[in-house]
Structures are given as structure tokens and as C-alpha cells.
Amino acid sequence: MTGFVDLYTEGDTFLHRMDPRVKIVAVLFISVLGFILQNLTSLLILLVLIFLLLFLARASFSRTMFALKFVLRFMILIIVLWPMFDPSGLPVLATLGPVKITEPAIWRGVTSAVRVGCLATVWYILMFTTSQRDLVRALVKLGLRFDFGLTIAISLRFLPTFSALYDSIKDAQKARGLELERGSVLRRGKSYLAVLVPTVVSALRTADTLSLALQSRAYGASSKRTYLRELRMRRSDGVALGVVVAILVVPALARLVFQVPI
């Protein structure tokens, strides 16, 4: 359950070292670019560039594919289903009852799938090269209120703990003969109560102590807070930011203002 959120792998590539704020902005800009570009060729070029970044981040290809396996399935689903729901354009390749499969529709489906692939991979690169700690700090530095940042950080920190707690409680109830897979929907709902109630109660107890601990460490003492680890932009980060802005602005201008069909 937690592998889904904690994809960070330590490394010493320039992407790992880049200021997390620049990375967040970069990922946002590239995502927007993914929606601005309409041409399949342009999107494929973008995808290749993103894979280049993946390579530079020293991410192993097989691990990436594994992490993105849901995305891959989703992409295949898009390619298969899109033509069934988009009957416009010529030439028509096949007709199955009310469904008309046209060639342009297939290409539009593929384009959409590639777009999804670009977005998912670039976000994966962000998660892969940035620790949760840095992500939260970057968000706070970019303007997120510290309280919200702390809430996110605490949630991420306790995710594995509560996940393990849930598993432990499931075991404890299984040892009392609980069978979660059997029975009608109603019966199963009641069975899950035996696992959910203790989980929620334990979580609330933890939250209670947590709140006391936070207060004991002067949380909220003043609105001005210092931070031990500061995020400082270096020259390389500034350059990267410039490149990212250019990557978005140039095609955006080309497409939206000068009507270049990319």
C-alpha cells in the first residue's frame, strides 16, 4: 500500500540534486505542455525526451514499468476503447453494429494514450528523485501553509504505520475465526467492521497522543518559524528553471498564438 506513495530511491544524479521546487514547477509545466501539444509526433518526441530524463535519473526500466503497470493497462484501454466511442472522421475501417471504427479515431486514441504516458512518467520521475520530505518542504516554500504541509507530512509518515496496523488487526481477527472473503455482501460488511473499528480506535488513540506531543514541542507557538534545512536555489537550478520555462513557453506560443500545428 505504501509502495504507491514512496517511490523515492536515493541517487546522485542531477535530477536528484535539483531543487525540489524547480522539479515541481517543471513537472507541472511539462504536464501542461502535454495538453497543449496535439500532434502525435510531437507527443512521441516529448515521451522520448521524458524517457531520456528517466535514463538520466538512473531509474531502472523494468522497475519503472512495474510501477507504471496500471498506467500501461490504462493506456491500452484507451487505445482499444477510444475508437468505439469516437465515430467521426474518414476512412471507416470497420463497422460492428452501431459502432464505427474510423482511422482518425484510432490515431486520436493513440495520441491520448501517449499523452497519459507522458504525464504519468514525468510524475513518476518527480516521485523517484525527490524524497517526501523535500516534496513537502518545497510545497511549503512555494506558498502552502505550514499547517497543511505538516498535515501532509504526518499523513505520509503514518501511512506505513497504519497500513501495518490494519494488517495486524486483520491477523488478530482471523485468529478468532473471522473469514473476510466469505458470505453475502452484508455479512462481509459486518466482518470488515471487526477490522475497521479496532483500526480506527487505535488510529484515534495515536492521534490523541500525537496532539499532546505536538503541543509539548511548542507547535503553534508563533507564526514565525525557522527551518533547519533551507532550500536554496543554485545556479544550475536557475538554468534548469529557465530551460523548463522555455520548453513550455515556446511550443505554447507556437501552438496557441502562431497556430503552428504541433
Q: How far is the CB of 174 from another protein (least distance, A)?
A: 5
Number of residues written out for the chain: 262
d(CA 50, CA 190): 47
Q: Identify residues 104-163 at the interface with another protein (CB under 8 A).
A: 131-133, 153-154, 156-158, 160-161
Nearest to 112 by CA among 64, 51, 44: 44
Is 205 one of the binding residues for another protein (CB under 8 A)? Answer: yes
Residue at grid coordinates 490515431: 107
Of 39 and 215, which CB lies nearer to another protein in the complex structure? Answer: 215
Is 177 one of the binding residues for another protein (CB under 8 A)? Answer: yes
Q: How far is the CB of 209 from another protein (least distance, A)?
A: 4
Give the residue, chosen from 217, 232, 259, 261, that forms a contact with another protein under the rule CB under 8 A.
217
Three-class secondary structure of residue 180 per DSSP? coil
Q: Identify residues 36-95 at the interface with another protein (CB under 8 A).
A: none
- Interface stretch with another protein, choices 16-24, 34-42, 53-61, 165-173 (CB under 8 A): 165-173
Of 13 and 206, which CB lies nearer to another protein in the complex structure? Answer: 206
Contact 78, 113 (CB under 8 A): yes
User: Element (H or E) spanning 92, and its range?
Assistant: strand 92-96
Residue at grid coordinates 516534496: 135
Binding residues for another protein, rule CB under 8 A, total 52
All three cell numbers of 142, joined, read 512555494
Helices and strands, number each (H, E), in the chain: 10, 2
Q: How far is the CB of 134 from another protein (least distance, A)?
A: 10
Of 100 and 133, which CB lies nearer to another protein in the complex structure? Answer: 133
Contact 15, 30 (CB under 8 A): no
Of 12 and 230, which CB lies nearer to another protein in the complex structure? Answer: 230
- Alpha helices (H) along 132-234: 132-141, 146-174, 185-216
Is 171 one of the binding residues for another protein (CB under 8 A)? Answer: yes
Is 215 one of the binding residues for another protein (CB under 8 A)? Answer: yes
Contact 111, 82 (CB under 8 A): no
Residue ranges binding another protein (CB under 8 A) = 131-133, 153-154, 156-158, 160-161, 165, 168-169, 171-179, 193-194, 197-198, 201-202, 205-207, 209-222, 224-230
